[in-house]
Amino acid sequence: MPYTITLIPGDGIGKEISSAATRVIEATGLKIDWDIHEAGMSAIEKYKDPLPQAVIDSIARNKVALKGPLTTPIGTGFRSVNVALRKEFELYSNLRPAKSFDGVRSRYQNVDLVIVRENTEEFYSGIEHYVDAKRSAAETIGIVTRTGSERIIRFAFDYARSHGRKKVTVVHKANILKYTSGLFLDTARSMAKEYPEIEMNDKIIDNMAMQMVINPHQFDVIVTTNLFGDILSDLASGLVGGLGIAPGANLGYDTAIFEAVHGSAPDIAGKKIANPAAIILASAMMLEHLGESDAARRIENAVAAVIKDGRKVTKDLNPDHCVSTDEMADAIIEKL
Ligand code: NAD
- Kindly state the average pLDDT of the residues 13-29: 98
Pocket of ligand 1 (CB under 6 A): 13, 17, 69-72, 82, 243-244, 259, 262-268, 274-275, 278, 316
CA atoms within 13 A of residue 12's CA, in its CB half-sphere: 20
Q: Mean pLDDT over residues 89-108, rounded?
A: 94
* Torsional sign, CA 128, 80, 263, 303: positive
Three-state DSSP class for 245? helix
What pLDDT score does 112 carry?
Answer: 96
Helix ranges (H only) for 35-145 are 41-47, 53-62, 81-88
Domains (range + CATH), the chain: 1-99+242-336 (3.40.718.10), 107-239 (3.40.718.10)
Report the pLDDT value the prediction gives residue 104, as an integer from 0 to 100.
Answer: 93
User: Where does the pLDDT of residue 276 fall: very low under 50, low under 70, confident under 90, or very high at 90 and above?
Assistant: very high
Question: Using only C-alpha atoms, what is the Rg of the chain?
Answer: 20
Give the sign of the dihedral formed by CA 227, CA 199, CA 238, CA 311: negative
The mean pLDDT value for 241-252 works out to 95
pLDDT of 274 over the 80 cut? yes
Nearest CA to ligand 1 atom 16: 244
The answer to whether residue 309 is catalytic is no
**The pLDDT of residue 1 is above 80:** no
Give the separation between CA 149 and CA 180, rounded to whole angstroms. 10
Over the stretch 37-87, which tens digit does the pLDDT of each residue have? 999 998 998 999 999 999 999 999 999 999 999 998 887 778 889 999 999
Distance, in Å, from the CA atom of 52 to the CA atom of 6, rounded to the nearest integer, reads 14
294 is catalytic: no
pLDDT(126) > 90: no
Residue with the smallest CA separation from ligand 1 atom 4 is 265
Determine the pLDDT at residue 76. 77
* pLDDT at residue 175 in the model: 97
Q: Which of 11, 35, 202, 230 is catalytic?
A: 230
For the residues 144-169, what does the mean pLDDT come to? Answer: 97
Catalytic residue from among 11, 35, 124, 335: 124
- How many CA atoms, within 13 angstroms, populate the side-chain half-sphere of residue 147? 3
Question: Rounded CA gap, 266 and 13, in Å?
Answer: 7
Closest-lying ligand 1 atom to the alpha carbon of residue 73: 32
pLDDT at 333: 98
Q: Residue 254, by phi and psi: left (phi above 0), alpha (psi -120 to 50) or beta?
A: alpha
Q: How far is it, in rounded angstroms, from Cα 238 to Cα 136?
A: 36
112 annotated active-site: no
Range 155-169 average pLDDT: 97
Mean pLDDT (whole number) for 195-199: 98
Q: Is 67 a catalytic residue?
A: no
Q: Relative to the CA of 248, which ligand 1 atom is closest?
A: 41
Tell the residue nearest (CA) to atom 43 of ligand 1: 263
CA of 201 to the centre of ligand 1 (A): 31
Quick one: average pLDDT of 168-180? 97
| Å from CA of 213 to ligand 1 middle | 21
State the amino acid at position 313 in one-letter form: V
Closest residue (by CA) to atom 37 of ligand 1?
A: 263
Report the sign of the C-alpha dihedral through residues 176, 194, 169, 202, in that order: positive
pLDDT of residue 77: 79
Q: Which helix (H) or strand (E) holds 184?
A: helix 180-192
Report, as an integer, the average pLDDT of 246-260: 97
Q: Whose CA is nearest to atom 5 of ligand 1?
A: 265
Ligand 1 centre to CA of 242 (Å) is 11
Separation between Cα atoms, residue 92 and residue 135, nearest integer Å: 32
Percentage with pLDDT > 90 across the chain = 93
pLDDT for res 294? 97
Confidence of residue 334 (pLDDT cuts 50, 70, 90): very high
Atom of ligand 1 nearest to the CA of 13: 18
Q: Is 188 strand, coil or helix?
A: helix
Distance 251 CA to ligand 1 centre (A): 21
Per-residue pLDDT for 211 more than 90? Answer: yes
Alpha-carbon gap, residue 35 to 296, rounded angstroms: 21
Segments of the chain assigned E as strands: 3-8, 32-36, 64-67, 93-99, 112-118, 128-130, 138-140, 167-172, 199-204, 221-224, 247-251, 256-260
pTM: 0.95
